[in-house]
Each structure stands twice: as structure tokens, then as C-alpha cells.
A and B are shown apart, each in its own frame.
Chain A
Amino acid sequence: MRAMVYRGPYRVRVEEKDRPAIEHPNDAIVRVTRAAICGSDLHLYHGLMPDTRVGMTFGHEFVGVVDEVGSSVQNLKAGDRVMVPFNIFCGTCYFCARGLYSNCHNVNPNATAVGGIYGYSHTSGGYDGGQSEFVRVPFADVGPSLIPDWMDEDDAVLLTDALATGYFGAQLGDIVEGDVVVVFGAGPVGLYAAKSAWLMGAGRVIVIDHLEYRLAKAREFAHAETYNFTEYDDIVVHLKKITEYLGADVAIDAVGAEADGNFLQHVAAAKLKLQGGSPVALNWAIDGVRKGGTISVMGAYGPLFSAIKFGDAMNKGLTLRMNQCPVKRQWPRLFEHVKNGYLKPSDIVTHRIPLEHIAEGYHIFSAKLDGCIKPLIVPSAS
């Protein structure tokens, strides 16, 4: 089969690989019909996540058709159209039993601090991902769901991570009616978080980024008020000014490990790998939110230490909330929102790239060329 493989920092290519095999009785093999490149894939692509091995196939956002099922699978059969959450989870460990599917303890031998994620280094369990023609899907009876007949495939693939994560990020903000919500980052997760904040009753939604075309999307798609941080000497002071010097009630970090805005922080983290992530957006969130406010962290960071301003967070009495999104728990409610027309995930898709051209796809997304917001990957077999 054809699959994307990692060759080293900033280098990927498409190779012929063995079709994945059933490794466990509850596995399924899914023929991928649509995948996506996630902003967090760029952390792998840039060599920022430890234990990213040459030869691994990335991709934790994908949908497809069941091609084969293991002997114990009861809920799926060959030919079913399925959407697969980015979390790999068993459904019954201590954490899954409490709905924390992203923290499953039975699927990642490499680390206890993170659950299993498709195509996201061995730190997340060493599973190949869906930027390929076929993918192994463990725990087929609990992870995948049938794609509803009325749902578009492009919408379905975005529900496997980006939309669910943005919506989850807004939930972690504990938004109450009239709250001022500031979202750092106008990428896919930030756009969805901003849009979701309105559903939860926000009174004002502010999005901050440095890419004008993404800020334009935030105004159009998420009805947000936007600011380009490169136009301000100090974006935190500006945030205070526009909130009558109170600060936002809720701040959402939708940027993560490669945040821009401070050259030294960015280079130390993203280029020299001297810290787990560039905490620029997170520190702006800490300083820009009001005392007693809430910060929701959706951006992905590496497991190494980062220079985060915990002193300010403590002195301000902030609540810091964060987790990888337990995707499947969000789906019933999100399906309703998509069906009712409150959310149209595929509105942010800018590029559809054939699998064979995936190296160009990564570069376009990474270098922010051509107005790229969300690239989808189309395997040739589909």
C-alpha cells in the first residue's frame, strides 16, 4: 500500500509499505478515504516530539471504510463507513471508565502521561497513522463510529480531532453567559474554539494571531473580533485596554509548542528543542486573563519542561484546565450541532492534497503558504 513516511525533521515521502495486519482480535483494518494534516502533526514533522522514528506514518485524523475485522469485533463489519477518533482507547481502564478516553492506560506502553494516538510518535504508543491507504484501528468495538448518512465525509474527518478539540477547549473554559473569551491562535482548533464559545454563551470572542488571512477567517467563520499581535508593541497590554483593564474571563491556548511572538522562546523550543514547547501563547494567556479567570490549554506541548509563568498564574488565582480531547464523548452533541447547521466544519478546509503529494502538503501547511488553514489528504485508492 502507499503511505506517508517520516524521513527526519522537515522531510516526508510516500513509500510502498506492507498493508497493516490484525494484531489483536478486536482490531479492524480501515481503508482510508479521507485524512488530514493536523497542526500538531507539524510538531512531529519539525522533529519536536521525542521518539519520532524514521519510517513512521503520521495522521490521526481520518475516516474510511472497514476492510477487515478481527475475530472478536462485534460492532463493525467489512464495508462500514467509519470515522475514527484520534484517541486509541480500551473503554474500560480506570480512566476510560470515567470518560477520560484520551487518558487510556491500556494502549500506550511507552508513556503513562499520554494515551494512545494514531501516528503520533512512540511517545503516544507507536501506532502508524491514517495518512496512508490502510490503517490498523485497535479496539474497533469502542473507537470508531459509523458516519451518519447525512454527514459529509469532509465534515466527518474534521470531527475526528480538530472540531472536537476546539469544542472541548471551549468547554474547559467553563464559559458563563457574557464572558469575554480570548482565543490565541486562528488555526483550525482556534477557529472551532472561537465558534464554540458562542454556543456556550460568550458575550465577546476575541481571536489573536499573526496571519492576516487566518484572522479574516476568524471574523467570517467564527464572528470573532480579531487582533494581529505583530501590530502591537505588547498584545497583553492591548488586551487589557480593550477589556477596561480587567482582562478576559477565559483564555484558550490553541497554539501550542511552536508559538510565535517571542523569537528567543520560539527558537529555543521549535528549532533548538531546548524546551518542550514555546510557551508564548500560554504566557500571554496567563497575563491576559483576569484574576480568578480560567485558561484552557488545547495546544500540544512536548514532554520536556517549558518556561511557563507559573508565578503569575498562582498570584492571579487562575484555573488552568487542559487535556487531550476525549473525542468520542463529544460526538453525540456535536452531531446535533452539525445537523442543525450551527457548525459547518469543512468551511475551513483550504486544500485537498493527493497522498502522493503529501510532502508539498506538509510544506504548504508548515510555511503557511497559499492561505492554508486546513489541508485534507486524499489517498489515491479512494
Chain B
Amino acid sequence: MTYTPEKPKTGESSDVLRARIPGWGVDLDPADRPSVPRERFDPTFSGAWWEFPERQPEKYPRERSIEHKFLTPVFGTSCPPKGVSGAIRRLAYRRYSEGRAAHWLLLMAADRVDATGSTLRSFASRHPDNPLTETGVLSEISHHGLSSRLGEKRADLMHQPLDPIIVAAPWVLAGGVAYALGKRVLRRRRARA
């Protein structure tokens, strides 16, 4: 038992397990485990034939962590920073290292500005955001939303009601901004009249 030297026996013997479970113990020897030891020096193993890769052309000023000596030779080109959210992102990268909470909090703030701004801009486009189709919430009807939850002891049922609030927040915010702007424009027009 735990309070004496021997380990408590709580499982089946190895022979029983080998007979019951296909493949039991085939990787018992750590030498058969591909990530043992963790580090194994072999620069040719990957198939790479360069020592330092050729550099990818930088077609716009690519933001990078100040913990890097230089722009990495290869990088993603999805969604370059733009607008207000882009300015916040550039500030986060230019000013703060990854070790600073400010770096990540600014990036999170930029994400929210980006989402709200994109939703607003979408109303002036041919593809306005549609919360019904984009949240996939209609699958609640087609994929047993009720029976997946009813009578189940699921811990997530406690907080799922918060999800619609998170989804609705940018819409409410956008509505508030539109209302305030509209009110101001009306006031000015009345004042002029």
C-alpha cells in the first residue's frame, strides 16, 4: 500500500493485458519511441538540403517579434495588418516583447477592433455578416441540439448561455455606435435648420 514500500497493485498483470489489448507493450522499450531522447542531433534527417533557407521576398513591412534577430526567412502572408486594428498590432510587435502582458493584451484588443470593424464594413459590402449562418446555430435544429443536452450531466451547460452574449457583443456595440452617430447627425441638422 501507499504507506508501506511496495507499490499498490491496482491493475491487471502484463500477461493479461498483452492478451487483451492489441499491441500492448510494443513500445515498452524507450528505444522504440520516436521522441526518445527528446533531442537527437541530425541536421540531414529532415531531408533539407540547405543550411540556411533562401529568403522569401518581403512584399510589405512584415511585423515581427522583437525577440527575433531578423525577419525569419519564411513567413505567412495571410491578412496583413490594416486600419486601426493593424496599427494596434504593429505597436504591440514594435514595442513589447512576448514576455510582456501588454504585447498580448494589445493583440487581443486589436482582434476585437478587427472583428467589430469588419462586421461594420460588411454592411457596406455585397456579403454582409449574418450571425445566423456564420455561427452555425441552425445546426441546433438539424443535429439534435436539445437531445444532446437534455438529461446529460455536462459541465459545459453551465456556461453555454454566455456564448450568445459574446457573439452579440460586437453587434450591440456596432448598433450603439450607429445610434450615437445618427443622433449626432440629426442634432446638427436640426441646429442648422
Residues of A within 8 A of B (CB): 7-13, 15, 23-26, 46-47, 50-57, 72, 74-75, 88-92, 96-101, 105-113, 116, 122-123, 125-128, 138-139, 141-142, 168, 171-172, 174, 177-178, 180, 196, 198-201, 203-204, 210-212, 223, 228-231, 242-246, 260-261, 263, 266-267, 270-271, 273, 302-305, 326, 328-330, 332-333, 337, 340-343, 358-364, 367-372
Q: Is the CB of B22 within 8 A of A342?
A: yes
Name B79-115 residues within 8 Å CB distance of A: 79, 81, 85, 89, 93, 98, 101, 104-105, 107-108, 110-112, 114-115
Instruction: List residues of chain B with CB within 8 A of the CB of A212.
Output: 152-153
**Interface status of B192 (Cβ within 8 A of chain A):** no
How far does the alpha carbon of A127 sit from the alpha carbon of B122 in the complex, in Å?
23
How far does the alpha carbon of A24 sit from the alpha carbon of B56 in the complex, in Å?
5
Q: Is the CB of A210 within 8 A of B65?
A: no
Q: Smallest Cβ distance from A98 to chain B, in angstroms?
A: 4
Q: Is the CB of B136 within 8 A of A359?
A: yes
Instruction: List residues of chain A with CB within 8 A of the CB of B33.
Output: 171, 200, 333
Question: Which of A24, A116, A328 contacts B54 (CB under 8 A)?
Answer: A24
Instruction: List residues of chain A with CB within 8 A of the CB of B139.
Output: 360, 363-364, 369
How far does the alpha carbon of A214 sit from the alpha carbon of B10 in the complex, in Å?
24
14 A–B pairs (Cβ distance < 8 Å), ordered by A: A7-B118, A47-B111, A99-B45, A109-B62, A109-B64, A109-B72, A110-B64, A112-B68, A198-B21, A201-B28, A211-B154, A243-B10, A342-B26, A360-B142
Instruction: List residues of chain A with CB within 8 A of the CB of B62.
Output: 109
User: Which residue among A97, A244, A304, A330 has the maximum number of chain B CB atoms within 10 Å of its CB?
Assistant: A97
How far does the alpha carbon of A116 sit from the alpha carbon of B136 in the complex, in Å?
29
Instruction: List residues of chain B with CB within 8 A of the CB of A138.
Output: 74
How far does the alpha carbon of A112 sit from the alpha carbon of B74 in the complex, in Å?
14
Q: Is the CB of A139 within 8 A of B74?
A: yes
Instruction: List residues of chain A with CB within 8 A of the CB of B21.
Output: 198, 223
How far does the alpha carbon of A12 sit from the alpha carbon of B33 in the complex, in Å?
39
Question: Which of B71, B115, B163 contacts A54 (CB under 8 A)?
Answer: B115
Instruction: List residues of chain A with CB within 8 A of the CB of B64.
Output: 109-110
> Number of B residues contacting the other chain (C-beta, 8 Å)?
106
How far does the alpha carbon of A109 sit from the alpha carbon of B90 in the complex, in Å?
13
Instruction: List residues of chain A with CB within 8 A of the CB of B81.
Output: 53
Instruction: List residues of chain B with CB within 8 A of the CB of A178.
Output: 7, 11, 14
How far does the alpha carbon of A139 sit from the alpha carbon of B75 in the complex, in Å?
11
Query: Of all chain A residues, which has the CB nearest B41?
Result: A98
Q: Is the CB of B77 within 8 A of A368?
A: no
Q: Smallest Cβ distance from A355 to chain B, in angstroms?
A: 13
A24-B56, A203-B11, A204-B11 in contact; A198/B24 too (CB < 8 A)? Answer: yes
How far does the alpha carbon of A218 sit from the alpha carbon of B47 in the complex, in Å?
37
Q: Smallest Cβ distance from B128 to chain A, in angstroms?
A: 11
Apart from the given pairs A177-B14, A245-B1, 4 other A-B contacts in the complex at a CB distance below 8 Å: A126-B76, A198-B21, A203-B11, A303-B104
**Interface status of B182 (Cβ within 8 A of chain A):** no
Q: Is the CB of A139 within 8 A of B98?
A: no
Query: Of all chain B residues, which has the CB nearest A210?
Result: B155
Query: Of all chain B residues, which has the CB nearest A46?
Result: B166
- The 9 closest A-B CB pairs, nearest first, are A91-B48, A342-B23, A126-B76, A363-B136, A91-B46, A8-B115, A244-B8, A204-B11, A127-B76
Question: Which of A54, A168, A261, A370 contacts B114 (CB under 8 A)?
Answer: A54
Instruction: List residues of chain B with CB within 8 A of the CB of A90.
Output: 48, 53, 73-74
Q: Is the CB of A56 within 8 A of B111?
A: no
Instruction: List residues of chain A with CB within 8 A of the CB of B158.
Output: 263
